Each structure stands twice: as C-alpha cells, then as structure tokens.
Amino acid sequence: GESVGLHLPTLSVQEGDNSIINCAYSNSASDYFIWYKQESGKGPQFIIDIRSNMDKRQGQRVTVLLNKTVKHLSLQIAATQPGDSAVYFCAENIGNQGGKLIFGQGTELSVKP
C-alpha cells in the first residue's frame, strides 16, 4: 500500500544546531516529493521539493535528501532558529495519479533557545 511515515513524531533541538527530519515512503512509483512546514493556526507552507531523478536539492538553510534505494527522504535545516519551530510534513506524488499528494503524519520540531 501507500504510506508516508515519519521515524520520529517529535524532535527537540538547541538553537543553532542542525536539524534532521526523516520520512519513509513505500510506493516506488512516487516520483516527486515535497516538504511542508505548518505553524499553529496556519496552512502548510512549501519549503522545498525534489524529483526522483535527483538525490539532493538545496535551498536557503534547507537541504532535502532522497534515497530511492531505501525509500527514504530527509529534510536538513541548518542553524535551526526558534522560528523554525513547527510541524513538518513530507508528501509524495505518484506520477500517474495526477495532483494527489500523500502526506505523512508530521514531525513536530521544537527549538530551544
């Protein structure tokens, strides 16, 4: 079946440290992956995306790594700041299923000052 799961439901880091949020997926037909950040009372906000023909993509302070061999996705946040505290969702899109995104349950990131 389809699943997008997260290894850790909560993650607590010290301000300034790097954060790594992990995600596992089971559908080998998934070809596009996205990370979203959701703050309390708001909708998910796009962070970064990656296609299955890549294994790494970098943004501003964020890096997404994709390991298709083990069906694993991770989000790395450099120099984590208090404003990074939120719930992070990974999502996958299966190429032949149009606009449907499959979301994981989310990881809550808490940044300690």
Partner 1 sequence: EAGVTQFPSHSVIEKGQTVTLRCDPISGHDNLYWYRRVMGKEIKFLLHFVKESKQDESGMPNNRFLAERTGGTYSTLKVQPAELEDSGVYFCASSQAGVSSYNSPLHFGNGTRLTVT
Measured in whole angstroms, the distance separating CA 77 from the mean position of its chain's CA atoms is: 10
Task: Please return the burial class of 16, using the count of CB atoms within 10 Å of its CB with bins 0-12, 13-18 and 19+.
Answer: exposed
32: contact with partner 1 by CB under 8 A:
yes
Total residues at interface with partner 1 (CB under 8 A) = 27
Query: Which run of H or of E encompasses 24?
Result: strand 19-25
Q: How far is the CB of 92 from partner 1 (least distance, A)?
A: 10
Contact map string, positions 69 to 108, toward partner 1, x by CB under 8 A: --------------------x-x-x-x-xxxxxxxxxx--
Measured in whole angstroms, the distance separating CA 25 from the mean position of its chain's CA atoms is: 11
Which residues contact partner 1 by CB under 8 A?
4, 31-32, 34, 36, 41-46, 49, 51, 89, 91, 93, 95, 97-106
